[in-house]
């Protein structure tokens, strides 16, 4: 059950010290300004030095030796093939005062061949000679030494900013080394606009959670009474029943900060990152207490330990251990509630389920008829419905639908209406949308006449058996139009939700499954592969009846674990069998006997009503789809004709 207009996901918000740099600017902006100033200083220094060196006289080598011979050179500095010299200040035309004026300096380049006369010439005219390494000037060496580090720092800064932008967009912590920070999406106080009024159905679950929101809104009142808030609340239910929406509704009612994260977001390729993220998440929540932490799909990190896979120190188990430790570390004044959601509570670790961790378990069931009607009204608020749309009928036709399924049904109906160019969504669009969700989309397949006839008799067998047996669910539709993976479909809609299955109902249900195969055998004298899925479902149901529900006189009221689905290979390998090989053979014999017995009854039923089977199959070949009232009319007409 989801709100048709969920609030926009807020950007990740962190504490001011993490968001602001010096002067109130974000950290990446402060670093950017520092880099810009550094570049400006370097460029200014470079151009200033280059400009000052550009004022030196540039002499040819011949002019240089002539100046030395004329006693006009005071000192020279040799650096590789480059000579920088200083003229005497008493030279005619030179500026007065300090002899260090740029116009008194000169530069020349030595020839590639060594001149043996140069050094004696300089010594003869008492010219001071200095020598430097050929590595370049100080500013060049500085630039060469600093530039690689500058590029490296710039690369790290760029990668950090990009990673932060990516993580901020995904709701996680930023920074180059922010992978150890919590990825939880933070909704500040009052930002979650969802309340319990936006959650249709789930009255029992809302009643259990109302006191949590009351406690978070006014914890002092409950403390005066000596009440302690539950540390953890586990929301259990099938997918799409509204676990996440209910958690947001609690935060919206309490008006407290809400931290939302998926269990899989704790695990990373680096060892210890999951535990670090758990610590960071709980630390942030405690700083803003009262607050709510919501961990969706907690079974991804909270599965039972010691299954024989991954050892005792794998990353998932370390993350689980840290969650257990953090939930034990709550102080009485730290009003932080941990909400978790899962659709597999049977696989969670026992330490996670004990009192003191998740103190309260809230079960969310699939919505009943009244709840489905409320959900349909919520999701159709913004959809222009035609006058002929009957939401009560749609609620009756959607037994077993979750809130998410109902939302998808309304959306598919709106898409169908838009595809056809209609201005409103009529009842036909809604029914077609339901058929698409339940039966699958229509497939364009070129079936031969023999295949169509086989499918027609197969589906007629299902429909006739369902019409004749007293405990079978009522028929709604029969079609031989290929949908999804099936070439035809017989649909039954129960009149009411069933929470307890009687043996008579289960036997009639198996009979309907075997009706198609029995019809093929009666009409064509052989069976086809089209009954493969029917046989699979019938065998599965019969095995549950015999081995788990005690519906066999020979086996008796005993339940065996054979046939259970184990999600842990280690647990399955270590499981001890609690029955012998002889008992396994007896179970197999009883399952086979039950199916044969029901199959014989179905074959006799179809043989006694063959004329009605023929009439139903011919009508299917003509119309391809028959509704419940049409099926009743055909069967009544065939019965009257037989009399």
Nearest to 186 by CA among 310, 340, 339, 10: 10
Instruction: For residues 522 and 441, give the distance between their C-alpha atoms in angstroms, rounded to a whole number.
Output: 31
Residue 290 annotated as part of some ligand binding site: no
Pure H helices in 170-272 = 203-217, 219-224, 243-254
Instruction: For residues 422 and 2, give the distance between their C-alpha atoms in angstroms, rounded to a whole number.
Output: 26
Residue 242 annotated as part of some ligand binding site: yes
Residue 243 annotated as part of some ligand binding site: yes
495 given a catalytic annotation: no
Instruction: For residues 397 and 476, give the distance between their C-alpha atoms in angstroms, rounded to a whole number.
Output: 9
Nearest to 351 by CA among 303, 391, 414, 388: 303
Pairing of strands 232-236, 185-187: unpaired
Per-residue tokens: 516: 């198609």
The maximal CA–CA distance of the chain, rounded, in angstroms, is 146
Residue 458 annotated as part of some ligand binding site: yes
Instruction: For residues 174 and 188, give the distance between their C-alpha atoms in angstroms, rounded to a whole number.
Output: 18
Residue 238 annotated as part of some ligand binding site: yes
Residue 80 annotated as part of some ligand binding site: no
Residue 379 annotated as part of some ligand binding site: no
Q: Is 257 exposed, middle or buried (0-12, 13-18, 19+ CB in 10 A)?
A: buried
| Coil vs helix vs strand at 292 | strand
Residue 241 annotated as part of some ligand binding site: yes
CA 592 to chain centre: 43
The one catalytic residue among 297, 317, 459, 590:
459
CB 456 within 8 A of CB 439: no
As a whole number of Å, the end-to-end CA separation of the chain is 52
CB 245 within 8 A of CB 194: yes
Nearest to 346 by CA among 234, 245, 264, 205: 234
Q: Tokens 């052989």: give the residue.
A: 526
Could you tell me which residues come within 8 angstroms of residue 18 by beta carbon, excluding any fewer than 6 positions away? none
CB 613 within 8 A of CB 519: yes
| Coil vs helix vs strand at 232 | strand
Residue 193 annotated as part of some ligand binding site: no
Q: Tokens 């930023």: give the residue.
A: 174
Sequence ranges of the binding site for ATP: 237-244
What is the set of active-site residues?
A: 459
Sequence ranges of the binding site: 237-244, 458, 462, 534
Sequence ranges of the binding site for Zn(2+): 458, 462, 534
């Amino acid at each position: 059950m989801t709100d048709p207009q969920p609030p926009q996901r807020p950007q990740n918000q962190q504490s001011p010290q993490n968001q602001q740099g010096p002067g109130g600017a974000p950290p990446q902006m402060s670093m950017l300004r520092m880099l810009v100033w550094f570049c400006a200083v370097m460029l200014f220094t470079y151009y200033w030095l280059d400009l000052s060196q550009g004022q030196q006289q540039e002499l040819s080598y011949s002019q240089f030796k002539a100046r030395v011979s004329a006693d006009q050179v005071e000192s020279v500095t040799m650096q590789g093939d480059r000579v920088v010299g200083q003229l005497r200040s008493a030279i005619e035309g030179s500026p007065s005062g300090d002899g260090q004026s740029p116009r008194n300096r000169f530069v020349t380049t030595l020839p590639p061949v060594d001149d043996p006369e140069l050094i004696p010439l300089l010594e003869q005219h008492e010219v001071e000679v200095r020598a430097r390494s050929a590595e370049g000037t100080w500013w060049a060496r500085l630039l060469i030494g600093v530039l690689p580090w500058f590029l490296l720092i710039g690369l790290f800064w760029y990668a950090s900013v990009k990673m932060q932008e990516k993580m901020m967009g995904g709701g996680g912590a930023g920074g180059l080394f922010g992978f150890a920070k919590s990825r939880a999406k933070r909704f500040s106080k009052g930002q979650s606009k969802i309340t319990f009024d936006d959650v249709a159905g789930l009255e029992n679950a809302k009643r259990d959670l109302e006191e949590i929101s009351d406690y978070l809104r006014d914890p002092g009142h409950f403390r005066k009474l000596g009440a302690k808030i539950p540390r953890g609340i586990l929301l259990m239910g099938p997918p799409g029943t509204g676990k996440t929406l209910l958690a947001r509704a609690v935060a919206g009612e309490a008006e407290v900060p809400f931290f939302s994260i998926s269990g899989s977001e704790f695990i990373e390729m680096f060892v210890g990152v999951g535990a670090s993220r758990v610590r960071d998440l709980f630390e942030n929540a405690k700083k803003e207490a009262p607050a709510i932490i919501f961990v969706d799909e907690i079974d991804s990190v909270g599965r039972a330990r010691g299954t024989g896979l991954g050892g005792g120190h794998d990353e998932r188990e370390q993350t689980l251990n840290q969650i257990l430790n953090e939930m034990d570390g709550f102080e009485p004044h730290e009003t932080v509630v941990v909400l978790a959601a899962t659709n597999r509570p049977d696989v969670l670790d026992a330490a996670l389920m004990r009192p003191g961790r998740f103190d309260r378990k809230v079960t969310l069931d699939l919505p009943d008829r009244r709840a489905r009607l409320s959900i349909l009204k919520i999701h159709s608020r913004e959809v222009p419905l035609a006058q002929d749309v009957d939401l009560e009928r749609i609620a009756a036709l959607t037994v077993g639908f979750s809130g998410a399924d109902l939302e998808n049904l309304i959306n598919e109906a709106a898409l169908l209406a838009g595809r056809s160019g209609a201005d409103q969504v009529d009842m036909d669009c809604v029914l077609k949308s339901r058929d698409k969700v339940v039966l699958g989309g229509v497939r364009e397949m070129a079936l031969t006449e023999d295949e169509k006839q086989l499918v027609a008799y197969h589906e007629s067998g299902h429909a006739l058996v369902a019409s004749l047996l007293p405990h079978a669910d009522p028929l709604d539709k029969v079609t031989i139009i290929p949908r999804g993976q099936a070439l035809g479909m017989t649909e039954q809609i129960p009149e009411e939700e069933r929470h307890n299955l009687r043996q008579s109902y289960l036997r009639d249900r198996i009979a309907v499954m075997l009706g198609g195969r029995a019809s093929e055998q009666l009409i064509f004298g052989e069976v086809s592969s089209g009954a493969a899925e029917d046989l699979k479902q019938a065998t599965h149901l019969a095995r549950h009846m015999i081995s788990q529900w005690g519906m066999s006189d020979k086996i008796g009221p005993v339940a065996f674990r054979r046939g259970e689905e184990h999600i842990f290979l280690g647990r399955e390998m270590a499981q001890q069998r609690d029955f012998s090989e002889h008992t396994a053979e007896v179970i197999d014999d009883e399952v086979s006997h039950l199916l044969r017995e029901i199959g014989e009854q179905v074959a006799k039923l179809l043989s006694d009503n063959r004329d009605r089977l023929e009439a139903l199959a011919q009508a299917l070949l003509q119309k391809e789809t028959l509704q419940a009232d049409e099926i009743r009319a055909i069967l009544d007409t065939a019965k009257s004709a037989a009399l």
